[in-house]
Amino acid sequence: MNTTINGLNINYIDEGNGPLLIMLHGWGSNVELFKGVINFAKKKYHVVAMDMPGFGKSDEPAESMNVDDYVDFVLEFIRTLYPEEKEIIFLGHSMGGRIIIKLASGLKDGRLSAGFTIPKIVLTDAAGVKPVKTEGQNKRTKRYKFYKNILTKTGIAKAFPGTIDALQKKFGSADYAAASPVMRQSLVKVVNEDLVPYMPSVTMPALLIWGDKDTATPLSDGQKMEKEMPEAGLAVIEGAGHYSFLDNPYLFYKILGSFLGIEM
């Protein structure tokens, strides 16, 4: 299905009947990876999942977006397609978790300014804790700045505009290298925001599902969220990585089903 939000063509899935459950994917991902979770949850819920701007089959934004921009996008998506909804549950993976943390922390008296309540949330292998750079990463950053300084001062960067871009690709992460210029700027903005200060304001029941082998958002992030969020509980799936819902779907659905009242 497709709709237009803020002038962008947005691809989304809308399946099932019941209370509204909105799923938000992670960076570099799309709704297709949620297909199994959607098929499980739609037995009891009205499940909606969209490709966010710059991902999957949705249009790329004209300008870079930060976490607040993605929160605003989700709210506009809801206002456009589901304006009558008074209660919405959210499930987010990786970057989708960032968006939900920021969104849920904005509640006043249990109700968002948009006019709906969030009775509970599910965060799986979620981002939001700003990572501490390793010694190797710090050295890599210093080398990047050193070479960038040379290219800039010698005039090479001005004469050959693509050199800085090539340098960024060489020293950046795989996600950074694979992204377009506008999405690279978005990635930097999103990753560099620490959402820990917002977590104590996420006061609704929160299920945290984590793979203990997750290297992108390590288990320590989930433990930090459980500590900071007043009503959070952490469930760990042994042997699973950053995509715990793909690595061990049976156990993931069993945990999710217990929290949301869905039978296996």
Give me the domain span that covers residue 247.
Answer: 2-130+193-260
Dist CA 111 CA 167 (whole Å):
46
Same domain, residue pair 152 and 116: no
- Please answer whether residues 256 and 262 qualify as being in contact, where contact means their C-beta atoms are separated by less than 8 angstroms: yes
Looking at the structure, do residues 106 and 55 belong to the same domain, yes or no? yes
Say how many domains are in the chain.
Answer: 2
| Pair 157, 60 in one domain | no
On whether both 24 and 149 belong to a single domain, the answer is: no
143 and 117 together in one domain: no
Residues 35 and 96 in one domain: yes
Q: Which residue has tokens 């909804």?
A: 85
- Both ends of the chain: CA-CA distance in Å? 28
Q: Looking at the structure, tell me whether residues 226 and 204 fall in a common domain.
A: yes
Q: Are residues 168 and 206 in the same domain?
A: no
pTM of the full structure: 0.85
User: Residue 53 is part of a domain; what is its CATH number?
Assistant: 3.40.50.1820
Per-residue pLDDT of the chain (264 residues; tens, 9 = 90+): 999 999 999 999 999 999 999 999 999 899 999 999 999 999 999 999 999 999 999 999 999 999 999 999 999 999 999 999 999 999 999 999 999 999 999 865 555 666 799 999 999 999 999 876 556 554 655 665 655 676 677 777 666 666 656 645 555 555 555 668 899 889 889 988 999 999 999 999 999 999 999 999 999 999 999 999 999 999 999 999 999 999 999 999 999 999 999 998
Say whether both 36 and 122 belong to one domain. yes
Same domain, 157 and 51: no
In the prediction, which pLDDT does 167 show?
Answer: 46
Q: Are residues 91 and 197 in the same domain?
A: yes
